A and B are shown apart, each in its own frame.
Chain A
Amino acid sequence: MSVLSIDHVSRWFGNVVAVNDVTMSVGPGVTGLLGPNGAGKSTLINMMGGFLDPSTGGVTLDGETIWRNESVYRKIGVVPEREAMYDFLTGREFVLANAELQGLGGAEAQRALATVEMEYAQDRKIATYSKGMRQRVKMASALVHEPSVLLLDEPFNGMDPRQRMQLMDLLRRMGAEGRTVLFSSHILEEVEQLASHIEVIVAGRHAASGDFRRIRRLMTDRPHRYLVRSSDDRALAAALIADPSTAGIEVDHGEGGLRVQAVDFGRFTELLPRVARERGIRLLTVSPSDESLESVFSYLVAA
């Protein structure tokens, strides 16, 4: 059982602040580090993995400082995002080298290859592997020493759905065994399917923390914006604004429709079709205009 602690950590590169005063602690089980691209997730994971020193603050594993302390790697397994590996080796040779560097041998390497189901291709050169196969061999190299902490940077990138399921099963299993598993992702569904605990990072700041239901609720309860086109925009607008689930409506001549801001997501989604049917108005377009993850996240930061 290991706990990673991040204590008032900031990291900047020149004038750019990548991580801004983040404090969190990551314990056993699967934790998802969620945030849009460029939010500072990789910087944070690199600091937890000891590949980057915090500009201020401390990153520790069970009380031990991680930066410049290679003994922590007996407990940590790292799955980097970058593709580069020793492409001139076969999968087996690569995992064996990683095992040897941990002071282990062929038996452990073979077991790790079996865990990620890569035995069938272990004697092919890594250069010939698909992205999913590379990802699995990277996993095997991080698992050879049965680490109590596993750090994965965007592990599902480039995986097909079946490989994604397999990796999720594996990570769930590792979490259930009491290991501390932390993975980063910019895709909400991935994190929701896998992580029991979520940490949200937006623009270098720690925006939210908790179980996914709480975060999901925060995300659903935010004001939603829709572009609505109908056979009678003004009549529809009058009917919608009468209900408290609608906070504002604007007639957008440029788009030829209504811009509706809804505050109660659940109620509004029932109200709109009902109102339209009752008044004989035909709905031509209903499209959410701010569903991008960035806008969801920026709402979370403000909350």
Chain B
Amino acid sequence: MYNPTVARLTYRALLGRRRAALLFLLPGMLLVIAATIRLLNGADDQVAADVLGGFALATMVPLIGVIAGTGAIGPEIDDGSIVYLLSKPVKRPTIILTKLTVAVAVTMVFSAVPTLLAGFILNGNGQQVAVAYTVAALVASIAYSALFLLLGTVSRHAVVIGLVYALVWEALFGSLIAGARTLSVQQWALALAEKVTGEGLISSEVGLTTAVVLLAAVTVAATWFAGHKLRTLTLAGEE
């Protein structure tokens, strides 16, 4: 279910492209913001939670998820080089699961690790805020990677659609329309963060059980569908 060669190719494709610069830029911004706030304001649990919730989980994690998830497969399908993977006796679900693993790993490293660091910079993990948001970033990494990997297999405009989802749906509608919040990876991840810190600092729109079930369901369904799409992917000729 995991092919090291496919993984190696995917890592190099993800980290070797110009887009990879964004993977370093966003976490860098988070750390700079955290350090600046700590220097100017001192440690404050509520501010720490606001920064990690407002920037790290609401913006950075989905954006990194878009880059890693769509980038793990989209460009290969677009330019046709996926033919070198498909013309091998390797099961299609293995290709998808390997690419998902790589996308999840990259998203976690570039979003959860900086979240944890930023949390410690902001308030030294007071009231478990840093750990809570790190847990949220970790689970959100899995769901976002699966969703955006699927997007990469079904659409040539995966990045744009991914950005619209991440920024418009999660950030904008999520704060305006109550219903949208229930269908939001961010809120599901927050439910776990809430569990870690206890009442008060972090609140989610959905209960813990619902959140876990939805996270698992979305991840599994998206991955299955991506595998199915890849099995029936047709590479039309130039003509």
The residue on B at minimum CB distance from A89 is B12
Chain B residues near A46 (CB-CB < 8 A): 234-237
With A68-B231, A80-B80, A80-B83 known to touch, is A18 a contact of B239 (CB < 8 Å)?
A: yes
Interface digits, B86-101 against A, CB 8 Å rule (1 contact, 0 not)?
A: 1111111000000000
Establish whether residues A97 and B83, one from each chain, have CB atoms under 8 Å apart when the complex forms: no
Interface mask (A7-27 → B, CB under 8 Å = 1, otherwise 0): 000000100001000000000
| Closest residue on chain A to residue B94 by CB atoms | A70
Cβ–Cβ contact A101 & B238, under 8 A: no
B226 to chain A, nearest CB (A): 16
Q: How far is the CB of B74 from chain A (nearest CB, A)?
A: 13
B24-38 CB contacts (< 8 Å) to partner A = none
- Which A52-70 residues have a C-beta within 8 angstroms of B? 52-53, 68, 70
CB-CB nearest in chain B for A49: B87
Q: Which residues of A contact B4 (CB under 8 A)?
A: 100
**Does residue B195 face the partner (Cβ distance < 8 Å to A)?**
no
A101 & B237 in contact (Cβ 8 Å cutoff): no
In this assembly, does A185 line the interface, its C-beta being within 8 Å of a C-beta of chain B? no
Contacts of B92 in A (CB 8 A): 70
**Are A78 and B237 in contact (CB-based, < 8 A)?**
no
Contact: B5 with A101, CB < 8 Å? Answer: yes
How far in angstroms is the closest Cβ of chain B from A205?
Answer: 15
Most buried by B among A40, A53, A70: A70
A98 CB–B CB distance under 8 Å: yes
A49 to B89, CA, bound (A): 13
Task: Assess the B239–A141 pair: CB atoms within 8 A.
Answer: no
CA distance A153 to B236 in the complex (A): 13
Contact B238 A98 (CB under 8 A): no
Q: Which of B6, B81, B89, B236 contacts A13 (CB 8 A)?
A: B236
Q: Is the CB of B235 within 8 A of A52?
A: yes
Q: Which residues of A contact B84 (CB under 8 A)?
A: 85-86, 97-98, 101, 141
Query: Provided the pairs A70-B90, A97-B5 are in contact, do residues A88 and B12 lie with their beta carbons within 8 angstroms?
Result: yes
Query: Least Cβ distance of B163 to chain A in Å?
Result: 24
Residues of A within 8 A of B91 (CB): 70
Interface size class, chain B: 20 to 34
A213 to B: closest C-beta gap in Å: 29
A230 to chain B, nearest CB (A): 42
Q: Verify A43–B237 contact, CB threshold 8 A.
A: yes
Min CB distance A140 to B, Å, is 12
A268 within 8 A of B: no
Does A71 sit at the interface, judged by CB under 8 A? yes
Interface contact A82-B238, CB-CB below 8 Å: yes
Return chain A residues, CB-CB under 8 Å to B5: 97, 100-101
**Nearest CB of A to B165, in Å:** 27
Q: State the Cβ distance, A37 to closest chain B Cβ, in Å.
A: 7
Q: Indicate if the CB atoms of B9 and A97 lie closer than 8 Å.
A: yes
A254 at interface, CB cutoff 8 A = no
Chain A residues with CB under 8 Å of B232's CB are 53, 68
What B residues does A84 contact at CB under 8 A? Answer: 79-81
Least distance between A127 CB and chain B CB atoms (Å): 11
- In the assembled complex, how far is the CB of residue A87 from the closest CB belonging to chain B, in whole angstroms? 8
With contacts A82-B80, A89-B12 known, is A98 near B88, CB below 8 A? yes
Measured CB to CB, the nearest residue on chain A to B87 is: A78
**5 chain-A/chain-B pairs, Cβ below 8 angstroms:** A46-B234, A50-B86, A51-B234, A86-B9, A101-B88
For the A-B complex with A77-B87, A98-B84 known, give 12 more contacts whose Cβ atoms are closer than 8 Å.
Answer: A39-B239, A43-B239, A46-B234, A51-B234, A52-B235, A70-B88, A70-B92, A73-B87, A81-B238, A101-B6, A102-B88, A153-B237
Interface residues of A (CB under 8 A from B): 13, 18, 37-43, 45-46, 49-53, 68, 70-71, 73-74, 76-78, 80-82, 84-86, 88-89, 97-98, 100-103, 141-142, 153
List the 8 shortest-distance A-B pairs measured between CB atoms, nearest first.
Answer: A42-B237, A84-B79, A101-B88, A51-B235, A100-B5, A82-B80, A84-B81, A78-B87
